[in-house]
Amino acid sequence: MDHEHGATGRQHETQLAEARRQKPPETHRPGTGHHHALQDFRRRFIISTILTIPILILSPPIQAFLGIFVWFPGSDYLLLALATAVYLYGGWPFLSGIINELRARMPGMMTLIAVAITVAYVYSSAVVLGIVGGEGFFWELATLIDVMLLGHWVEMRSVLGASRALEELARVMPSEAHRVRGKRTEDVPVDRLMVGDRVLVRPGEKVPVDGVVIEGKSNVNEALLTGESNPLEKHPGSEVIGGAINGEGSIVVEVKKTGAETYLAQVIDLVRKAQESRSRTQDLADRAAFILVAIALSVGAVTFAVWFALGEGAGFAVERAATVMVIACPHALGLAVPLVIAVSTAIAARSGFLIRDRSAFERAKDLQAVIFDKTGTLTEGRFGVTDILALDGAGEIDVLGAAASVEAYSEHPIARGVIRSAEERGIPVHPAGNFRAIPGVGVEGEIAGRIIRVVGPGYLAERGISSGDERAETLQRQGKTVVFLLEDDRLTGAIALADIIRPESGEAIRRLKAMGMRCMMLTGDNREVAAWVAGELGLDEFFAGVLPHEKAEKVRQIQERYRVAMVGDGINDAPALVEADLGIAIGAGTDVAIESADIVLVRSNPMDVAAIVELSKKTYRKMLENLLWATGYNAVAIPLAAGVLFGVGVVLTPAVGAVLMSASTVIVAINARLLRL
């Protein structure tokens, strides 16, 4: 993530970036690069602090403050030697960092610190060697380096806490699996599993790989992977995701995907790419940091010249200039945006939506309209019972129960919808006797000596049977499929079926409209069906009879009025997803490699569309907060460092400047971590 901190060029940030670039295989140990960088700063801080103690004891200003006197032949040169050790060893991250920044022609934080400590060291050394008169300030140089090292160490701990998305994801996977061979099982590393292998997953264990259940039944918790809070029932034929937590039952899973093809590996890759992708707001931060460095160097030089001209002495002038450069370090600016990106990307992954294009996600905050596909997006993509009409004294339960019993042997989508609805309502289904399918008409069977038929309206028309109920005609005008129940040629009921609207769709529409966005629908269905769905959900507009290849053109037409997001299934909606300002693929399940979408919704939940917009707005707000703090802090701190309040006794030392600079960076890191959805 070189670009993220391009304006700062920090050595430890480079180490952090390199560690995050590593694509974690199953055997990867997360955090090794982070740990090395942390330990390096910790070690340099401890050793430099130990060397600083005798520097303080040998420094005349500290002796005067403590009321002691320590001097012996060569003590000044010992002080020089100790200060040199602190300057070279403790200051090495900054001295080496300036080289990298100048090579990149991007002077930043390392440049300011390196210039400040070098000027202080050279001046103080010249005083000890008798080259110039005055009083050196080795003690301030040493404490400045100590504070800077401590600040970087503490800050890195805070920063890493906001950048552990990949590590958290990598830790989800178990390291071993119980491979089934015949009647015995053997524990093997997960990375040795192959497609077709069978693994046993005991109660409470994590599923080791993506696969299909072939034996057993259990409830599996996928909350950490997809954000789905409710455990999902798994039985033979059900797909399971590696990293999910098994419930109370044992299951045997056949391996379908391994390595980089698994759902979790794809998620890790998407999170990594999203965190490394450049934010438009980062460009602003980088420009601001570059300008701040130029201002700090200029103000530092002017500060030195002014105080020297006023007769305060070279030592005081050097100290003021060094404080200006230290306190103005654009450290917080360099982290303001990248940390928010890392946190928001991790939140998105945990919430069940995966960001493939960072810039597109940032555009979500500016959306004015959302266009939904209908089938499989706002609806479940399957037939279900919407209305039951009980006629001639029959009850709704009797009508649905009789229809389901006759349809039990049929594989027609209508039959499956009827049976499913009966099961969902707890109505027992008993297959009827003498079942017979009537081609183009329906089905019939025998229940308790009565002939039960489930037929379409054509059957009634042929026999001159009238429903005598206007409700059936109304349902048909809504585009619903209506079937009729006959008992010995007596009409006893009617059942209306349609593509079931997702329970979450209505709430998603309400949330989006509350944000001030228009909600629309594109569908290939006829106008009657589209009008019914639009009416049920309270959509602002709908477009019916739109063929797949026409959807992209329709999106372009809507873009003439609004900035739009397109939400579809990622297959026949691909051209429209690409055309929209933001393309959101829904219904992806465990297949996250949808090239046409900017964001993938794992849970197939329309509510997540509103969550995306909300997160985008909150992410942008956090970026602005961090940028305002990082720049506003300097507007106050730089004049204080330059000594504008010297006349009233307010003087900041370089060490105090380092504390304030480090504190501003930690504040930015903490603020980023406070981002919530």
Residues noted as catalytic: 373
Total count of residues recorded for the chain: 677
- CA-closest candidate to residue 429, choices 408, 398, 455: 408
Residue 637 CA to residue 294 CA, distance in Å, equals 16
Phi and psi angles of residue 357, each rounded to the nearest 5 degrees, phi first:
-130, 110
Query: Is residue 209 within 8 Å of residue 246, measured between CB atoms?
Result: no
Residue 425 CA to residue 431 CA, distance in Å, equals 17
Residues 6+ apart with CB under 8 A from 317: 303, 304, 305, 306, 307, 308
Query: Is residue 322 within 8 Å of residue 580, measured between CB atoms?
Result: no
Beta pairing, strands 518-522 & 541-543: parallel
- CA-closest candidate to residue 341, choices 165, 153, 484: 165
Distances (CA, A) of 658 to 37, 135, 141, 169, 367: 20, 22, 11, 35, 42
Query: CB pairs under 8 A, 24+ apart, for 14-20?
Result: 14/100, 16/156, 16/159, 16/160, 16/163, 20/163, 20/166, 20/272, 20/275, 20/276
Residues 6+ apart with CB under 8 A from 447: 402, 405, 406, 430, 432, 433
Query: Is residue 297 within 8 Å of residue 115, measured between CB atoms?
Result: yes
- CA-closest candidate to residue 237, choices 212, 262, 210: 212
- Give residue 256's identity as a one-letter amino acid code: K
Residue 107 CA to residue 328 CA, distance in Å, equals 13
Residue 494 CA to residue 472 CA, distance in Å, equals 7
Alpha helices (runs of H) in 129-198, residue ranges in sequence order: 138-161, 165-172
Range 590-621 burial, b when 16+ CB lie within 10 A, else e: bebebebbbbbbbbbbbbbbbbbbbbbebbbe
Distances (CA, A) of 621 to 290, 511, 663: 23, 19, 21
DSSP state letters, 274-286: HHHSPPHHHHHHH
Run of H or E including 266? helix 263-276
User: Within 13 Å of residue 508, how many CA atoms lie on the same side as its CB?
Assistant: 24
Distances (CA, A) of 283 to 279, 280, 333, 472, 666: 7, 6, 11, 61, 21
Supply the angle between the helices 331-351 and 263-276 in degrees, to the nearest 10.
150
Q: How many Å is the Cα radius of gyration of the chain?
A: 35
- Laid out side by side, the sheet with 232-234 consists of 232-234, 218-221, 245-246
CB-count burial class (<10 Å; 0-12, 13-18, 19+) for 242: buried
Residue 253 CA to residue 151 CA, distance in Å, equals 50
Count other Cβ atoms within 10 Å, centred on residue 334: 28
| CA angle 339–343–344, rounded 5-degree value | 115
CA dihedral 196, 202, 208, 211 (to 10 degrees): 40
